[in-house]
């Protein structure tokens, strides 16, 4: 049995979390698998992101906020925030 570190990604809504877990590798068909506490850690981070509780999620992960981009003229451009998309006349 060996153990190795792995980064898992959890995506919920406009957030993505990078969670470090440990995989257990055996010489059998069910390998590799997570430790029970790492499986709970992934669930806790996912549930915190669903609630919008970034403070709790950040205790076990690095949190990223995702923004859509617009592809036009061959150049990727960040989209304007939703409140800036309305025209102001």
pLDDT for the residue 8: 97
Q: For residue 69, what are the contacts with CB-CB under 8 A and spacing of at least 6?
A: 76, 77, 78, 79
pLDDT for the residue 22: 95
pLDDT for the residue 81: 63
Judge contact between 57 and 63, C-beta under 8 A: yes
pLDDT for the residue 87: 44
Judge contact between 22 and 3, C-beta under 8 A: yes
Q: Which residues of the chain fall short of a pLDDT of 50? A: 85-89
Model-level pTM?
Answer: 0.75
Cα 57 to Cα 54: distance, rounded to the nearest angstrom: 5
């Amino acid at each position: 049995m060996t153990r190795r570190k792995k980064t898992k990604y959890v995506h919920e809504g406009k957030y993505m979390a990078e969670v470090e877990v440990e995989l257990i590798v055996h010489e059998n068909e069910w390998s590799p698998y997570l430790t029970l506490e790492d499986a709970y850690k992934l669930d806790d981070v996912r549930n915190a992101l669903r609630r919008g509780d970034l403070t709790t999620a950040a205790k076990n992960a690095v949190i990223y906020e995702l923004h859509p981009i617009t592809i036009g003229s061959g150049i990727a451009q960040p989209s304007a925030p939703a409140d800036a998309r309305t025209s102001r006349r």
